[in-house]
Each structure stands twice: as C-alpha cells, then as structure tokens.
Structure 1
C-alpha cells in the first residue's frame, strides 16, 4: 500500500503537464466555469489519471500468466464461500469487492454533477469497465502488464458507477455544472 501511495505522489508530478494542458485549453476556448466547478474538473482529471495507473500499470504482484473469469459472480461467490468457510477474512474479501465498487463511484458522482442523464450514465457504467478489462487483457498480450480479467470486476464497477450517481442525486449540496460565458 505504501508503494501505491508513493507511486501516486510520483504520478502527480507527471500529471502536472496534463493539468497545464487543461488550463491552456480552457484559456484558448475562453469558456470558464465557476472556480469550484473548475477545481472539480481538475480533481476528476487527476482521478482518471490515477485510475488508469491503478487498473493498467500498478502491479502488486507480477505473474507470468493471466487469469480470466467470464462467469458472472464466480469470484464474488468464491469470496462469500471462503468467508463462511473461514478461509479468508471479511476484511480481505471486503477490500477486494468494495475496492472495485469504490474505484468507479467517483465517475457516477461526476456524471451526475455534469448533468449526464441516467441512461447515458448506465451506458458509461457498462462501457468503461469493459474498456478497463479489455485494456488489462491487451496489456497482458503485448507483455506490458499482468492483471486478471474478470466479469465480476465489470459488475462491481457498474455498481460503483450507479451508486455514485445515486448518492450524488440524493445529496442536496451537489449542484450541476453551469458555464459562465
């Protein structure tokens, strides 16, 4: 975990050119939002940058092979069975399962914040986790990284999207973005 935190701190320096590009882009377009909204956009850009690193490049364990699970709820069910059998702690299972939900929860919040409809959010909630998993598979085949490819990750990421959207909708302090001309 400390290595991941150190990597994220190092990545923040790599992110600076992306942030500068965003600011220059906004200056060229001359279309600025409220300062709070611009800050949220910048934080979201950083979140996406870190998300891409975590799901595609961060390797806690480098394996020579890739595990692929195409059976829905196989891994989730395995965690549940292992918990009841006493083979694994609730903490480990919860971290792995909740981690996948929390990974995409900010995207649902962000989409609601930007006035994206529920229908488009559902579409994104399906497509983005699929792209993440296909990216993991592609990076494995080109020899760049090894991550498991799991339909359960797609399901949990989907839940995270919708949960974030729902929570943002229920929170009265979240205001939709409006541009200042």
Structure 2
C-alpha cells in the first residue's frame, strides 16, 4: 500500500510542477506590454508595498467594488498555489525539513519566480504575491510536519 501511495505522490508532484509552470509563466492572460521599455514595465506592473493589493482585495470582498472573482482568485489562488510546495519540497529535499532552511529556500525561490515573471513579462513583481505564496508554502510545511502525513509517506 505504501508503494502505491508513493507512486501516486510522485505522479501528483509532476502534475503539480506542470500546473505551476503553466500558471506562472505560460498562461496567456499575463501582462505582456511589449511597447514599454523594461523600466516602464517594471514601474507599471510592480508592487513593492506590503499588503497594498491584499488590502485592496479584502476591501473589495466586503464593499463589492470589483467583480468578486478577482479578489478570490488572487488571494486564495496565490495562497493555495504554493501550499503543495510546502509538502513536496521537504519530502524530496531532506535538508528542507528544518523550518529555517525551508523559509530561506522558499524566500529565494519565490523572489526568483517574481523576478522571472517581470523579466519575461509574464506577470508582475508583487510583494503581496510573495507574502501569500509564502503563507501557502508554510501552511503546506505545517501539514507536512503532521505525524499522520509523516507516517503515510515515510
């Protein structure tokens, strides 16, 4: 039974990686303002103020100032997109089982993703995306550390 669980886990990891790459870099709904210089693009598509967009989306949920799909997809999508990473990464990379190593590694990984999105013009650099992605990965890490999950996958 454990062998079947590990096979399913490995397959789900590959599917997750493909979905993540698609959502982050290949989705055609990205910004792609090709008529702007890179400096203008970064200026127009980046947010370096923590909680700026998070607050906007939370307010919109309550006051109806935008289509409810937008804040829900952005808040919960960013939160849940990296939740599986908090489970998969410590499983495959044993050194990431320490919270400090996990936090540093995820921080570097998420900053690289944000930078690549800007450089390729497939998204924006948004500190709020980083915050939500980090919270999601930490949630996954807490789930990973649960005894039941450890027994199931070890």
Is residue 143–residue 149 contact of structure 2 (8 Å, CA) maintained in 1?
A: no
Is the radius of gyration larger for structure 1 or structure 2? 1
* Pairing partner for 1:108 from 80, 86, 108: 86
Task: Give the direction of change, closer, same or farther, for the CA distance of 1:109–1:99 in structure 2 (3 Å limit).
Answer: same
Query: Does the 8 Å CA contact 2:5/2:153 hold for their aligned counterparts?
Result: no
1:123 and 2:104 correspond: yes
List per-residue Cα deviations over 1:129-154 (Å, max 9, x = no partner): 111111101212xxxxx312211111
Using the alignment, how far apart are the partners of 1:36 and 1:84 within structure 2? Answer: 42
Alpha-carbon distance in 2 for matches of 1:164, 1:158 = 10
Taking structure 1 as the reference length, what is the TM-score of the superposition?
Answer: 0.66
List gaps (5 residues or longer) in structure 2. none
- Match for 2:126 among 150, 166, 179? 150
1:136 maps to 117
Q: Matches of residues 157-176 of structure 1 in structure 2 within 5 Å?
A: 157-170=133-146, 172-175=148-151
SS across alignment from 2:110: helix
Indicate yes or no: 2:58 matched with 1:84: no
Instruction: Report the Cα distance in structure 1 between the residues aligned to 2:147 and 2:70, rounded to whole angstroms.
Output: 30
Q: 1:83 to 1:173 in 2, by over 3 A?
A: closer
Structure 1: distance between partners of 2:148 and 2:28 = 39
Ranges in structure 1 where 5+ consecutive residues have no aligned partner: 1-32, 141-145
TM-score (norm 2): 0.76
Q: Is the strand fraction higher in 1 or 2?
A: 1
Alpha carbons of 1:63 and 1:173: their partners in 2 closer, same or farther (altered >3 Å)? Answer: closer
Please tell me whether residue 56 in structure 1 is matched to residue 34 in structure 2.
Answer: no
CA offsets 1:19-73 (integer angstroms, 9 cap, x no match): xxxxxxxxxxxxxx94432432232122112201210111225542641111111
How large is the Cα RMSD of the aligned pairs? 2.5
- What is the distance in 1 between the residues matched to 2:61 and 2:5? 43
Contact 1:106 1:161 survives alignment (8 Å): yes
Indicate which of 93, 98, 101 corresponds to 2:71: 93
**Partner Cα distance (1:124, 1:40) in 2:** 22
